[in-house]
Amino acid sequence: MLYFDSTYLIVLPAIVFALIAQLMVKSTFQKYSKEKNEYGYTAREVARRILDENGLNNVQIEYIGGNLTDHYDPSANVIRLSDTVYNSTSVAAIGVAAHEVGHAIQHAQGYSPIKIRQAIIPITRIGSNLAVPLVLIGMIFSAFEWLIPVGIFLYTGVVFFQAVTLPVEFNASSRALNTLDSHNILQPGEIKMAKKVLTAAAMTYVAAMFSSLMSLLRLILIANRGRRR
């Protein structure tokens, strides 16, 4: 007889939420990728303009392959724009590029949440890799039961990282939309389209936060069930 672990029911809604969020961001980006901005700017041109106007001439812009693999790399001081964004004149691409510039500006201005997120990345990596194995070892071997709370504590670092990521991402999107509007880069109707793209993207981070929280709850329930046996 197959054994069914009822704790999987806890993470199931998070999995569904994450899948829906991914579908939303892809469909929304695809929809507004067909809408070209009135002035004919490319996403790379917009990113360069915003960076220069904020005194970030030292931040480079590079091409990277893939779809929506765009990101700001603070260690290299580089914004990497993906194949579907770099030379695109679409409203969706410009919104994404401006969002990544928002991260560069956050770093330059010492935005507190992004500094916290960078500081806890090593702990987060350790927690995501070791938390579950430590809890399982503690459950299997009574001599190592003390590893259970250690594993759970490490995984709380993952949850905290996701929690800090939310204001970082929402703030970058807010900066992007305000800049695109105040610098007259996009028209009012185009701003609304870009906002829909960035809002859909933000939902993936909300889903990641919810998923990590549910995974932590499942880990706690598994540990408590193991102690009762």
Q: Give the pLDDT score at 141.
A: 84
Residue 79's pLDDT band (cuts 50, 70, 90) = very high
d(CA 183, CA 195): 16
What pLDDT score does 2 carry?
Answer: 44
Q: pLDDT of 191-229, one tens digit each?
A: 999 999 999 999 999 999 999 999 999 888 888 865 555
- Tokens representing 61? 């812009």
- The model carries a pTM of 0.88
Dist CA 52 CA 61 (whole Å): 12
Domain layout of the chain by residue ranges:
8-228
Buried b (16+ CB within 10 A) or exposed e, 9-43: ebbeebeebbeebeebbeebbeebbebebeeebbb
Active site amino acids: 100
**Residue 30 identity:** Q
Question: How confident is residue 145, by pLDDT bands cut at 50, 70 and 90?
Answer: confident
